[in-house]
Each structure stands twice: as structure tokens, then as C-alpha cells.
Chains A and B, each alone.
Chain A
Amino acid sequence: QKEVEQDPGPLSVPEGAIVSLNCTYSNSAFQYFMWYRQYSRKGPELLMYTYSSGNKEDGRFTAQVDKSSKYISLFIRDSQPSDSATYLCAMKATGNQFYFGTGTSLTVIP
């Protein structure tokens, strides 16, 4: 079993839709949870960062962490064509290496 599982999609939605992206994990030591966005032929860029459980909101983006279920989510409201990218979840325990999901490819259709 991989440490981090992420549905690869692809996911295709109409502009303005709410998008839900999810990851599950198996290591209860993970405390730091991240979402990266990767445009085609570019390096991943940090989108959201959450420590431990709870919600974090930044504009149209909301990150949720449920440590009891070992489940994290990223919600995108009012999705835009510019949101079309691959979204990778990432997590780590204290001071250790990063563990990445395989990424979910999202296309927002105008």
C-alpha cells in the first residue's frame, strides 16, 4: 500500500463548478499537508498548506484535513479555465521527507 493515494482522474468540469480533490494516507505521523498545482511543462507550485486537522481558506480554495479518517481535500469554488492543471497532494511528518500523491489532472471547460 502506498503511503499516499490520490485518484489520478482526469477530471473535467464546466466553468463555475465546484471541484473536490481528495487524498488518503496511511501514516498517522503525518502532520503537515500541502496541495501543489502543476501546469503543463512546469514545476509544482505550493497552493495550500495546512498543519494538523482543520480547514484553511484562501480565496476560492479551501483545504480540509481530517486526521481521524486520514483524508485530505481541496475544494475549488467558481472554477476557472485557468485552474486547469494537475493537483498534487503532499504530506510529511516532523522534519522528514515529503510524500506525494500521483496527482489529479483537472480541466475546466469554458
Chain B
Amino acid sequence: DADVTQTPRNRITKTGKRIMLECSQTKGHDRMYWYRQDPGLGLRLIYYSFDVKDINKGEISDGYSVSRQAQAKFSLSLESAIPNQTALYFCATSDGSGPEGEAFFGQGTRLTVV
């Protein structure tokens, strides 16, 4: 089983719909991140959380919200989806016990907003 699991893997939704992407991890890491990846733009940080009570906006948080339900779970919501939110979304985790921890990524969720 994957250490970082994202559901769903693929989703097509209509403009204006609310949608939630879920991420769960078994690595025991405190830190979790949501990124979106677009061609030519690379990985852009949407939100991040350094522990259950900590939520921080990233570079492109407008139109998104998150919930850290537990150490192992971090969900991303699109309140009212729009076509330019069509992208590949990645959840990642890292170990916050030391400064050197690298990021571990899930397999991604391909979201299409029509």
C-alpha cells in the first residue's frame, strides 16, 4: 500500500460544484501539503499544515479550503469549481522532527472542471 494515498485518482466535475479531494498517510509525519501542477508552471503550493491545529495558506489558496481532520488526514475542497482549476493535484507529507525531511508525494488526483 502507498504511504500517501489520494482519492479519487480522477474526477470530472461541473462548474459551480463543490468537490473534496482526500489525502491520507501512514508515514506518521506531522506536515502535510497540497500542491497543484500545471504544464509550464510546475508545482504550486495551495495550503500546508504543520500539525493538526495549524493551517497555512500557500501561493495560490484563493478558491480552495482545507481541513486537517487528524494527523494522517488532510482534505482539499473546491467550494465552487471553475474550469481554470483543472489540474493535477498532489498531496505531500514531510517529517517535521528535523529540518532536513524531504517531501513524499501521493500519486495525484487529476481533476477536470467542465
Q: Do A and B bind each other?
A: yes
Identify the A interface with B (CB < 8 A): 6, 8, 31-32, 34, 36, 41-46, 49, 51, 88, 90, 94-95, 97-98, 100-103
B102/A43 in contact, CB under 8 A? no
- Interface range on chain B: under 10, 10 to 19, 20 to 34, or 35 or more? 20 to 34
Which single member of A32, A42, A102 contacts B108 (CB below 8 Å)? A42
User: Do A102 and B40 touch across chains, with their CB atoms under 8 A apart?
Assistant: yes
User: Contacting A43 at CB < 8 Å: which of B41, B48, B100, B108?
Assistant: B108
Contact B96 A34, beta carbon cutoff 8 Å:
no
A59 to B107: give the CA distance in the assembly, Å.
26
CB within 8 Å of A: which B30-86 residues: 33, 35, 40-43, 45, 48, 58
Residues of B within 8 A of A32 (CB): 99-100, 102
B107 with A98: CB separation less than 8 A: no
* Interface majority SS (helix, strand, loop, mixed), chain B: strand
- Of all chain B residues, the one with the shortest Cβ separation from A4 is B42
Q: State whether A90 and B103 are in contact (beta carbons under 8 Å apart), knowing that A42-B108, A97-B48, A102-B41 are contacts in the complex.
A: yes
Kindly state the separation between the CA atoms of A6 and B40 in the bound complex, as whole angstroms. Answer: 10
Which one of A8, A34, A90 lies within 8 Å of B40 (CB-CB)? A8
Residues A102 and B42 in contact in the complex (CB < 8 Å), given A41-B108, A43-B90: yes
A100 contacts B100, C-beta separation under 8 Å:
no
Query: Once the chains bind, are A42 and B96 in contact (CB under 8 Å)?
Result: no
Bound-state CA distance A94–B96 (Å) is 10
Whether A42 lies near B99 (C-beta < 8 A) is: no
Known pairs A43-B107, A44-B43, A45-B105 / 6 extra A-B pairs, C-beta < 8 Å: A32-B102, A41-B108, A88-B43, A95-B99, A98-B45, A100-B43
Judge whether A43 and B45 touch: CB under 8 Å. Answer: no
Q: Specify which chain A residues have a CB less than 8 angstroms from the CB of B33 in the assembled complex.
A: 97-98
Contact sample, A vs B, 19 pairs, CB 8 Å cutoff? A6-B42, A32-B102, A41-B110, A42-B107, A43-B106, A43-B108, A44-B103, A44-B105, A46-B102, A49-B100, A49-B102, A88-B42, A90-B103, A97-B48, A97-B58, A98-B94, A98-B103, A100-B35, A102-B42
